[in-house]
Amino acid sequence: MNCIIIDDEETARAIIQHLCSQVEELEVAQDFPNAIQAIKFLNKEEVDLIFLDIHMPDFTGFDFIQTLKNPPKIILTTSDKNFALEAFEYDCIVDYLVKPITLPRFLKAIQKAETAPSAPSVSSSTKSTDDTIPSENSSEENDLYINIDRRLIKIDIPTISVIEAKGDYILIKTDKQNYTVHSTLKKIEEKLPNDLFLKVHRSYVINFKKIIDIEDNSVLIEKDVIPVSRSNRPELMKRLNLL
């Protein structure tokens, strides 16, 4: 079984690495100090087992599990016994280890992982950079994940109509809902398809397909009148299928 370790505490990661080295059939592919880095890794690699700390700042172990489409087997590691009940709500969780972890208890958990019904190996449906996390899988190229209140929320990219810069945040307007995310216009622009989105002003990126009409130095999208700067106007005009 190949596995990864996710824990914000370096001591804990070193101990679990050491415990894994005691089991011949267990190979640690990598360890991570936070869940976001692990998500990036899982975009590219498959694993059979994850040792997952529940209590991490910013992004808890349970938040992490919810981002996985087909979670592999997971062994929770924690200094808190109170999460045991919540752990049973997830089929992928095969055991629950309370720190400090002893070798006999660790071996028992591995045995459970080996005998538990096989879960498919996982590729996470997400890839992360900061608070806006686009999917890298081709089948999900229309998805963008945003980090709000420690949860990754999926947005269907074509439903985005306008993105507005608001200081250190961006406001993403979609057909269904608006989201305020800690990110920049430049970062989200890089993650959106060029043929669909266009920067029309230093504070606005628009979905080209959502334009209702264009008048002078503004475009109407849904009910919003979006300013078009002089420097961005030529590119906008170039893209129009003018009669």
Partner 1 sequence: MTETPNLNYIKQLADGSSSFEQKILGIAKREFFEEKKEFLNNYNNKVFAKTAENVHKLKHKIGMFGLETGYKTATDFEEELKGNNPSLYPKFIVILDSIEYFLKTI
Measured from the CB atom, the residue of 99 and 112 that comes closer to partner 1 is 99
Nearest distance from C-beta of residue 122 to partner 1, angstroms: 27
| 109-117: long-range pairs with CB below 8 Å, 24+ | 109/75, 110/23, 110/26, 113/1, 113/49, 113/73, 113/75, 114/1, 116/73
Q: Coil, strand or helix: which one is 121?
A: coil
Which are the contacts of 96, defined by CB distance < 8 A and separation ≥ 6?
Answer: 75, 76, 78, 83, 84, 87
Chain contacts with partner 1 (rule: CB under 8 A): 8-12, 14-15, 18-19, 55, 57, 79-80, 99-100, 102-103
Q: Which amino acid is at 85?
A: L
Measured from the CB atom, the residue of 33 and 227 that comes closer to partner 1 is 33
Nearest distance from C-beta of residue 141 to partner 1, angstroms: 37
Measured from the CB atom, the residue of 78 and 174 that comes closer to partner 1 is 78
Measured from the CB atom, the residue of 104 and 234 that comes closer to partner 1 is 104
Nearest distance from C-beta of residue 11 to partner 1, angstroms: 5
Nearest distance from C-beta of residue 6 to partner 1, angstroms: 15
